[in-house]
């Protein structure tokens, strides 16, 4: 297969733990040909989407990759295009989904489906499955957030477009900095955010459940906060501990997985704290390397097999 990966700059990736690179290594081992580009390399000339790409190979040592010469290709010339650009989901990301949607209409196969990525905000999408979500509020009105805090006493607030735990605050009724936190998070009422009831089960880990073509892996990655920290995200210093899915995890993942598959969301990371769904990550979910290192499960292999089967 001829595969194109849309990535962040290669030098910004952690080659020893990056999920995109784990998928790429498995693809090479299975005999597939790799190409890469960055988000800005996707463009529209008149009505036709085109991409400037470079062939990609792994090297040993500090210079761990080699790129070929840049050349222009049509998206439909690849067996699959994997959009793995990290958030924030800003205007440039939005424009990329429009271009990639046009590419799909012109015969390309893009993972994940760009129109679904655009319509499944990673925080707001839990509203599609209220039976699994904790109590939450989405607003830019600080008075409403204060009322929500009075009701639930202990809450978490977070931006709608971030990743890796950035911009997340935990607030209790006794916090002396409620005002400035809300002013900062909502930009004085100009920015909509999400508030959720705080879930003390976060101390046992924020579980990342990876769903591939509608089917969850048998192990989740519980991201356990470091001492004194509310966030379990690995980027915020959390420790990843792989563990088998619970019955509740499986119920959540299989129920949501059916809808994800229908929507063309091939690779998704569900975030579950205790028994509650807190996020649905459709842009560039991670955790494959940690699960592979700690369990018999090989997520990149599962992903590659699933991709080959629907070729």
Annotated catalytic residue: which of 84, 109, 197, 223? 223
Q: Which residues contact 257 (CB under 8 A, 6 or more apart)?
A: 211, 214, 215, 216
Q: Select from 272, 233, 274, 234 the least CA-distant residue to 253.
A: 272
Considering the candidates 158, 161, 233, 263, report the single residue annotated as catalytic.
158
Continuous segment of H or E residues that includes residue 150: helix 142-152
**CB under 8 Å to 182, separation ≥6 — which residues?**
142, 145, 146, 157, 171
Residue with tokens 């962040």: 8
Q: Exactly one of 122, 161, 249, 279 is catalytic; name it.
A: 279
Catalytic residue, from 122, 249, 271, 290: name it: 271
| Residue 101 is a catalytic residue | no
281 is catalytic: yes
Q: Which of 112, 142, 233, 281 is catalytic?
A: 281
Catalytic residue among 84, 123, 197, 207: 123
Q: 76 an active-site residue?
A: no
Distances (CA, A) of 223 to 134, 165, 181, 287, 291: 19, 11, 25, 10, 11
Is 248 designated active site?
Answer: no
CA distances from 194 to 139, 169, 170, 174, 222 (A): 7, 11, 12, 20, 22
Annotated catalytic, 271?
yes
Mark whether 279 is an active-site residue. yes
Q: How far is CA 298 from CA 23, 83, 204, 250, 303, in A?
A: 10, 21, 24, 18, 9
Question: Out of 197, 208, 233, 290, which one is annotated catalytic?
Answer: 208
Calculate the CA dihedral of residues 181, 186, 192, 196 and round it to 10 degrees.
0
Choose the catalytic residue: 207, 231, 249, 263: 231
How far is CA 4 from its chain centroid? 18
Question: Which active-site residues does the annotation give?
Answer: 123, 158, 208, 223, 231, 271, 279, 281
């Amino acid at each position: 297969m001829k595969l194109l990966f849309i990535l962040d700059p290669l030098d910004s990736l952690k080659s020893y733990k990056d999920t995109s690179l784990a998928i790429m290594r498995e693809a090479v081992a299975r005999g597939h040909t790799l190409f890469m580009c960055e988000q800005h390399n996707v463009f529209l000339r008149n009505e036709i989407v085109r991409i400037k790409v470079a062939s990609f190979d792994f090297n040993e040592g500090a210079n761990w990759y080699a790129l070929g010469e840049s050349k222009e290709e049509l998206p439909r010339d690849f067996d699959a295009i994997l959009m793995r650009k990290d958030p924030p989901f800003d205007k440039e990301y939005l424009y990329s989904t429009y271009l990639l949607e046009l590419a799909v209409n012109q015969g390309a196969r893009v993972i994940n489906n760009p129109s679904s990525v655009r319509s499944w905000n990673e925080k707001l999408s839990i509203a599609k499955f209220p039976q699994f979500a904790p109590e939450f509020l989405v607003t830019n009105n600080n008075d409403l957030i204060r009322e929500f805090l009075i009701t639930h006493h202990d809450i978490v607030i977070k931006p709608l477009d971030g990743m890796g735990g950035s911009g997340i605050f935990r607030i209790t009724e006794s916090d002396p900095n409620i005002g400035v936190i809300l002013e900062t998070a909502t930009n004085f009422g100009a920015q909509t955010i999400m508030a959720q009831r705080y879930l003390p089960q976060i101390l046992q880990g924020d579980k990342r459940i990876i769903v591939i073509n509608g089917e969850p892996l048998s192990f989740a990655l519980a991201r356990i906060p470091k001492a004194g920290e509310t966030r379990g995200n690995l980027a915020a210093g959390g420790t990843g501990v792989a563990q088998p899915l619970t019955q509740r995890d499986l119920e959540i993942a299989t129920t949501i997985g059916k809808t994800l598959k229908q929507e063309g969301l091939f690779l998704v990371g569900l975030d579950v704290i205790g028994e509650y769904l807190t996020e649905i990550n459709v842009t560039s979910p991670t955790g494959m390397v940690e699960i592979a290192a700690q369990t018999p499960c090989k997520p990149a292999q599962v992903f590659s097999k699933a991709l080959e089967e629907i070729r």
